[in-house]
Structure 1
Amino acid sequence: MSSILSGDPVFWLYVAAFSLAAIACFVSLGQFRTIDDTDTRRGLVALLATSGGWAASQVGYLVAPTARLTLVSYVGGLVLGFSAVGAWLYFCSAYTGRSYHRNPTYRRLGAGVIVAVVGLKVTNPIHQGYFSTVEATTPFPHLAIQTGPLHWTAMGLAYAVTFVGFFMLFELFTAVDHDSRPLLVLVGLTGLPVAADVAGYTTPHLVDMTYEPLGVAAFAVGVAFVYLDRFEAIRVAGERETPLVSLGSDGTIRETNLAARDLFPELMGARGRSIGEVLPTVADRLQSDEPIVAVQTATSRRFYRVTESPIGSDRADLGGTLVFTDVTEREEYRRELERQNERLDRFAGMVSHDLRNPLNVAKGRLDIALETKSDAGETDPDDETLSEVAAALDRMDSLIDDVLALAREGTPVESRTTVTLSTMALECWDMVDGPNADLSVESDGVFAADPDRLKRLFENLFRNAVDHAGDDVSIRVGALADGSGFFVADDGPGIPPADRDEVFEEGVSTDPDGTGFGLAIVSEIVAAHGWSIEVTESEAGGARFEVSGVTARDRSTEQESVSA
């Protein structure tokens, strides 16, 4: 029973109010495309869409010309209204940086509750436990709804869940250093219609219906058209664990979150001041290539990487957000590597100066003695002993070379050049003393590496094959089938599986004349590039060294210098 033809001004006031609420919700949807966080945007859109449909259903309930259409509109509003509660909770969880909306258990539970309650609403004509109808004349003629016990049970559940969302928002607003009073007012408007709901149930002056879409519409319009910037800034600053500082376009501090204020107590009451004035070290680091800030806490020293990113709106005056990411473990590891490299450099210098110099003196004196005996035509049984001394000195010289290489090749590779596998292998083959040995490149590849260290890697692998398989060894080089690296294989005796884990250790060699450092140097070069190496058996039964973790490059980038 509708008053659509009666011209009752109160009736038209109701129709206008809910019509405007529906329009406001739908129009506001377009304003939220600039919200950067996908979950927040998705939750807010769902909230406005269901609330807009809810308001439109209320209009249908008021203007429907027949009782049947009135009931259809009313039940449709009940369904959309309860669905809006789920959207509200999803939005509140996402906006405040929580993860409840992503939890599969909570999502299944929420969907189950919505389906169950909607089922009760839709099947009301059967059980009549949700509502019944009666014609009423005040405040205007309409089909009044008399709610039953199931309605109040569902209503209590809905308001309890809605209160959880309010609590999450209020907690966020009090945690950020920002003037959140306008948003508090807007959020409060979403709960204000509860008073009208109660008045509609207890007095005849208001229609007994749900007025909540009016509050949601006010919230939507206020956020979308008035406080969107502040809405986004509070969301960004409200990240719960990561310290964040939001800056204006002029570099002044707009707001901070609790984590940032705990990390930097200087931020307390610093809103409106320049970041350079409050945190000069942070401002300086932002302009450097390595924006790492060391912070001394009460218990330890922590390191944070500072990055600046836009807040996410397309408005020019939003400024940016400073994000402080804890990189303490990585920074401590890097600094420890630097200390180790410094020690290795000092060690290499000591070996080069303190050992090689006296070694050169000994070799020089020995050469003079041998030349003197040779010029005099003397023969002496001690000549064989002197030859053994010369061989020992040569071996010491080789050991010093290998120890120096081992110390220097293990430092991380800082810059790389795009190289071709075949070109590098063939160049290194010319440096190997194996006149009867042969090399074949079965497949090619292009990747980034330190050319000097890569040459030493190939030379050591080639010499290792010649030393252990003989001067007539056949060596094959090629790219791995999956493109993740390359291999070097030979047809020699191979390496027993039990010994493959030890071949890369310093001093391990089956060659009595070898130093045992050749493959250790190969392992260090591989590790310095961030690659990995494995020993397997070749198709010919020999050794096969596979280097993986290598990032392939397009041939068009060959000879292009790149940064590691």
Structure 2
Amino acid sequence: MNWQYTPYTLWLGGTGIFLVLFAGYVWRSDSDQAVRGRYLATMLLITAAGYNFAYLLTLSQTALDIKLALNHIELVMLLPLTWTWLAYVQWYTRRDSNPSRRLVRVAGLISIGLIGMAITNPVHRLVYESATLEQVGSFVALDLVVGPGFRLYQGYVYILLLGSLALLTTAVIQTRGVIRRQAVSLLILSLIPGIAGGADILGLTPYTSLNLAALSSTISAAAIVVTVRRFRWLDLAPVSRDNLFDAVEDPIVVINGQYLILDSNAQFDNIVRHPSDTVVGEKLVDVVPELEQLFIEGTEPEVSEDIEIERGETTRIYDARSSPLVPTNQERLGWLVVFRDITPRKVAEQQLIQERDRLDEFASMVSHDLRNPLNVAHGNVELALQETGNEHLEHAQQAISRMDELIDDMLVLAREGQSIGEKSLISAEAVVSESWGTVDAPDASLVIEGPLPELRADKGRVRQLLENLFRNAVEHSEGSVTITVGSDENGFFVADDGPGIPPDERESVFEPGYSTNRNGTGFGLAIVEQIAKAHDWSLTIEESRSNGASFHIQTGE
């Protein structure tokens, strides 16, 4: 074989080696790009290197027949390079939906057909009609007379290239920051060989026998380096807005001021009355009639309502919310309406209401059925005690009173639980005084330390909380007891100088029915905990300064 050294030998050889090494780096890198993206990027670099090496060998050979054979290989490598570039750009811009992938596969099949035409050129001469050697400075190059097949080949390559340019241009427009600069760099990388090849086609170069598109690969390689180093090509990849729009699980529709649909995502098809290929241009209330009372023509489409939509045998409940689409420093473009499926929540709420109603009915029945015989027993024991003065009857009377207290506490737990009424701003000091007034404890005293915080709470339930804490301190103290209420960093505390609560029992005391006092119901502190939880307050037990119990309520205010 006869080989020649050209001014482009080191240029092309170095670029080819760089592309191969960089392909290995991309494939082995732990980048943000998914496996498909890394696979396509690697294949792109490998095919670019193959095209580069094919032209290097063609340029370095001096024998006409071998030079022509190598040129066929170079031509064959061009289509896989362009096709892989389009496939990568399609993935990069997140336009690789199933229809788009099928389009790329069709393009691949056409590429195979054109490659077959290039390989069989000696038979039909549609690609090259003739070939001769031309002296270009210090070396000889291949001078080709191309046929209609070659023009078809070139045209198809430029169609694929223009497709990738259109996708990258869209990415440049729709992205921002480093992602936009990254897309601009890839766009330039795409333009360089395209412009060089176009100059060849139009005869704007002094030597038509040189392949400027291949020679420009060094500039493209430099653009790759800039994209990786400065714009983090391997670390960041954009998400197209269309892809993001369809990825949202909630149905979304964009409308204008006349309620005409401008755009929608795939999930919106699930709630339209008659699904079709497109709803763009239709009135929103025509495709979703349930919205007719919400979107009244001539009014602003400001909506935040729950709607029930029945399709077939399925009924779903959606929280429909609209918001204006106003780009920065621009006029309003339309309205975005999001439909959030709240069916599971509504079903759960309805079940909870039914359970609460059943529990309330049960509690009322139990209260009625228990209180009637208790009242009879209490009256008869009291009469018998007045007549006989038997001390055993006093114990029976105390047991009946305790039973009455148990019923009261159980009804509070069953009916009110962790529910609270409307919150309002209340004076904690005033509520403490009111609660203390209901406690029958002549041997107990109350001390209020300093100003107490104002609370945003249900006043009636806070009184229940304090009354139960006061009674708990009185019931568990032998003799007199001093109860102190004061403020701390994030709430208030109720402390006493009684016997205290051992650390290993501080979790158990909030369990319904748990009591260390034989006369206690065991429900007082359970009620306290439920009221605290209903207000989103935290409740902890510590040892007081006088070795008693100290209940700290953190209100977060």
Q: What's the TM-score bracket when you normalise by the shorter of the two chains?
A: 0.5 to 0.7
SS of the equivalent of 1:292 reads strand
Distance in 1 of aligned mates of 2:312 and 2:494 = 54
Structure 1 residues 186 and 195: alpha-carbon distance in aligned structure 2, compared to 1, 3 A threshold: closer
Q: In the alignment, residue 403 of structure 1 is paired with which amino acid?
A: M
TM norm structure 1: 0.55
The whole-number CA distance in structure 2 between the counterparts of 1:365 and 1:266 is 74
Alignment partner of 1:541 is 2:550: no
CA contact (8 A) 1:247 1:255 kept: yes
The residue number in structure 2 matching 1:421 is 428
Q: Which residue of 2 aligns with 1:356?
A: 371
Among 389, 403, 420, the residue aligned to 1:396: 403
In structure 2, the partner of 1:276 is 285
**How far does residue 359 in structure 1 lie from its aligned partner after superposition?**
2.6
Contact 1:535/1:546 (CA < 8 Å) preserved in 2?
yes
Mark the CA change 1:534 to 1:267 in structure 2 (over 3 Å): closer, same or farther.
Answer: farther
Matched residue of 2:95: which SS?
helix
Equivalent residue number for residue 306 of structure 1: 320
- The alpha carbon displacement at 1:329 in A equals 5.2
In structure 2, the CA distance between the partners of 1:424 and 1:471, relative to structure 1 (3 Å rule), is farther
Q: What residue in structure 1 maps to residue 298 of structure 2?
A: none
Q: Deviations over 1:315-371 (max 9, x none)?
A: 666331111234455444433432332223212321333322333333334445555
Q: Is the 8 A contact 1:409 1:525 kept in 2?
A: no
Q: Is the 8 A contact 1:491 1:541 kept in 2?
A: yes
Deviations 1:231-280 (A, max 9, x none): x9968854543321112212233321112213546453443333333323
- The more displaced of 427-436 and 296-305 is 296-305
Q: Which letter does structure 2 place at the counterpart of 1:431?
A: T
Residue identity matched to 1:469: S
Q: Secondary structure at the match of 1:440?
A: strand
Between structure 1 and structure 2, the one with the greater Rg is 2
Aligned partners of 1:447 and 1:551 also within 8 Å: no
Alignment match, 2:20? none
Say if 1:303 and 1:327, in contact at 8 Å, map to a contact too: yes
C-alpha contact (below 8 Å) 2:326/2:332 kept by paired residues = no
Tell me the distance in 2 between the aligned counterparts of 1:299 and 1:532. 45
Gaps of 5+ in 1: 1-102, 118-128, 130-153, 175-183, 211-231, 374-379, 553-564
Superposed counterparts of 1:48-197, under 5 Å = 105-106=32-33, 161-166=88-93, 168=95, 187=166, 190=169, 195-197=194-196
Give distance in 2, aligned partners of 1:426 and 1:166.
68
Q: State yes or no: 1:519 paired with 2:528.
A: no
Deviations 1:144-195 (A, max 9, x none): xxxxxxxxxx999987653433552878999xxxxxxxxx999369489675
Cα distance in 1 for partners of 2:538, 2:314 equals 34
Corresponding residue number in structure 2 for 1:54: none
Corresponding residue for residue 335 of structure 1: 350
Who is 2:488 aligned against?
480
**Residue 464 of structure 1: aligned partner:** 472
C-alpha change, 1:465 and 1:334, in structure 2 (3 Å) is same
The change in CA–CA distance for 1:161 and 1:325 in structure 2 (over 3 A counts) is: same
How far apart in 2 are the matches of 1:354 and 1:285?
A: 50
**Aligned sequence identity (%):** 33
Counterpart contact for 1:173–1:234, Cα < 8 Å:
no
Residues 299 and 509 (structure 1), Cα distance of their counterparts in 2 relative to 1, 3 Å cut: farther
Residue-pair matches, total: 378
Alpha carbons 2:323, 2:336 under 8 Å: kept: yes
* Higher relative contact order, structure no. (Cα contacts within 8 Å, ≥ 6 residues apart): 1
Q: CA RMSD in A?
A: 4.7
Deviations 1:83-121 (A, max 9, x none): xxxxxxxxxxxxxxxxxxxx98459x99xx9xxx9xxxx
Distance 1:443 1:310 in 2: 47
The equivalent of 2:514 in structure 1 is 508
Separation (CA, whole Å) in 1 of partners of 2:340 and 2:397: 59
Specify whether residues 487 and 206 from structure 1 end up closer, same or farther in structure 2 by C-alpha distance, changes over 3 A only.
Answer: farther
Contact 2:94/2:243 (<8 A) preserved: no
Q: What is the CA–CA distance in structure 1 between the aligned matches of 2:360 and 2:303, rounded to whole Å?
A: 25
* Shift in Å, 1:401: 1.1
Change in 2 beyond 3 A, CA 1:203/1:509 = same
Change (3 A) 1:289 1:343: farther
- SS of equivalent to 1:415: coil
Distance 1:473 1:369, change over 3 A: closer
Distance change in 2, residues 1:370/1:434 (3 Å): closer
- The equivalent of 1:27 in structure 2 is none
**Displacement of 1:463:** 1.0
Paired residue type of 1:248 = N
The code of the aligned residue for 2:281 comes to G
CA–CA distance in structure 2, aligned partners of residues 309 and 386 of structure 1: 72
**Aligned equivalent of 1:132:** none
Distance 1:544 1:469, change over 3 A: same
| 1:529 counterpart residue number | 535
| Cα pair distance change 1:546/1:288, threshold 3 Å | farther
Residue 50 (structure 1) aligns with: none
String of CA shifts for 1:66-85, please: whole Å, max 9, x gaps. xxxxxxxxxxxxxxxxxxxx
Tell me what 1:199 maps to.
Answer: 198
Quick check: 1:489 aligned with 2:495?
yes
408-417 vs 323-332, which deviates more? 323-332
| Cα distance in 2, alignment partners of residues 344 and 358 from structure 1 | 22
Q: Distance in 1 between matches of 2:303 and 2:397?
A: 52
Match of 1:261 in 2: 269
Scaled by the length of structure 2, the TM-score of the pair is: 0.56
